[in-house]
Structure 1
Amino acid sequence: MSEITTYYLEMKNVAQLNGKDQPDQLSVVEVENDQFELNRFLYQLVGAQWQWTDKLALSDDAWKHYAEDKNLRTWVAYSQGAIAGYYELSKQDNGVVEIAYFGLTPQCIGRGFGGYLLTHAINSAWGWGGTERVWVHTCSLDHKSALANYTARGFEIYKTETE
Structure 2
Amino acid sequence: MSDRTTVTTWYLEQTSPADLAPADGGEEVPGLRIVRAEVPTPEYSRFLYTAVGQDVTWTDRLGWPYARWREFLDRPGVETWVAYDRGTPAGFIELDAGGADAQREAAVEISYFGLIPAFRGRRIGGLLLSYGTARAWDLADRWPGRAATQRVWVHTCSKDGPHALANYQRRGFRLFRTETAQEPKTPTPGPWPGA
Common topology (TM > 0.5): yes
- Computing the radius of gyration over CA atoms, which structure comes out larger, 1 or 2? 2
> Contact 1:11–1:154 at 8 Å: present in 2 too?
yes
> Contact 2:37–2:81 at 8 Å: present in 1 too?
yes
Distance in 1 of aligned mates of 2:43 and 2:77: 18
Name the SS of the counterpart of 1:57 in structure 2: coil
The one-letter amino acid of 1:104's match is L
Name the SS of the counterpart of 2:55 in structure 1: helix
| 1:13 pairs with 2:24 | no
1:134 aligned residue (121, 132, 152)? 152
Q: How far did 1:79 drift?
A: 0.4
Q: How far did 1:104 drift?
A: 0.3
> Contact 1:72–1:90 at 8 Å: present in 2 too?
yes
Name the SS of the counterpart of 1:24 in structure 2: coil
Residue ranges of structure 2 left out of the alignment (5+ in a row) = 141-147, 182-195
Matched residue, 2:192: none
Name the SS of the counterpart of 1:61 in structure 2: helix
> Contact 2:77–2:139 at 8 Å: present in 1 too?
no
Q: How far did 1:63 drift?
A: 1.1
* Structure 1 residue ranges (4+ consecutive) displaced by more than 4 angstroms after TM superposition: none
Pairs within 5 Å for 1:62-101: 62-91=68-97, 92-93=102-103, 94-101=105-112
Q: How far did 1:97 drift?
A: 0.3
Matched residue, 2:173: 155
CA offsets 1:94-137 (integer angstroms, 9 cap, x no match): 21000010000000000111110000111000011210000000
The one-letter amino acid of 2:111's match is A
Residue ranges of structure 1 left out of the alignment (5+ in a row) = none
Matched residue, 2:39: 33
Matched residue, 2:186: none
TM-score (normalised: structure 2): 0.81
